[in-house]
Chains A and B, each alone.
Chain A
């Protein structure tokens, strides 16, 4: 009974000592909390960016256009059902753009030309690097022509042209279109005429004759490889082909960037650890007198030790929580600035940050406390 009371009183005293040392020595405690806070803030902020960069940059890399194309296999052409099938296979959320082309030979002003029948808006979404002078089609009679054709036929935006061709029965058709845009890419697309897919189908009266499907997929290199494997194993109608130049290079650049941020993160972590360490060293060693007094009053070494360690745990939990909040603000604003998108709060990283801060603080306090505990009360109290 008495034992229990003593224990309770002890615990109460412990709490009071902890509280008073945290509140009475405000400026010193602020200094310590501050250094932990900076460490947690930088570490959490950088880790979030480190994890976010591949995700966000990968979206930026889709500016390079399609990273996988699909060709017919065991059949001459692909159909719109194949497009739907691919959409469901890849997953709507991972598609940055998917488009299809069907090629027809036609004549314009008696010159042989190739029409690419496609959904022009989807093509532009898949290939954001397209530079279209003019604009996207407003209705189905608007077409986009390549720069080479514009030069050859002296065409400008707003001009009207007639397309001649033969339908499935060999009968001639003639249709007028308005040029709504001139496409510049620097590549072979510049010698194509882009016409709405359904409009072209009406004119030629042909079944679906899609020659190639292009997709821009938000996946890393391994993800693309496994998708390629899965589709070629599952479908006997479609051959997926990875656009190696795009997929490989994206992986290379992203991994370098990530490595860079990782190294910086490690160095910053080291710096803040040293900072916390030095602050704790200073904070403990100046309290030798206090330790001496406690010893003289009969405190056991482990009691003193426990008190100091609890103090540093309270400090570090407090500091690191504020630090995590600030670090999240930082990564949020970086992401908004650079990518115009927010980031998600990563709980695992947050817990790890707090944990790392507590461990660092405790470790950096153990050494000076141990050293301080060896003082002879008499010597310290007399004033050296």
Chain B
């Protein structure tokens, strides 16, 4: 058990920022390619490019979680439960609302939504234990 060193946090932030730029680049490339390569079999491969930064970034997230101390792990675990629960309720509810006539939402929004809920939930819990 330990706590992330400043160097580890810097590496994590640099990795996330780099992969964020990579993601933005791939989104630009993919949307451009999907508009222009209509009917090409390459469409399927190219459409998966934005997934690559998430796959490459996952070990960095795992390393960061492993470096957390026991309180930080508890907070992250609780925040994950909140993110899981909120995402489950929202996606399930919207799925049924689609049957009622609301417009369909692309599945790529689910992961960022879950990540944002996790961040907010972690921040709120972090604040409670810091005061």
Tell me if chain B binds chain A. Answer: no
Chain B positions within 8 Å of A, measured between CB atoms, are: none
Chain A positions within 8 Å of B, measured between CB atoms, are: none
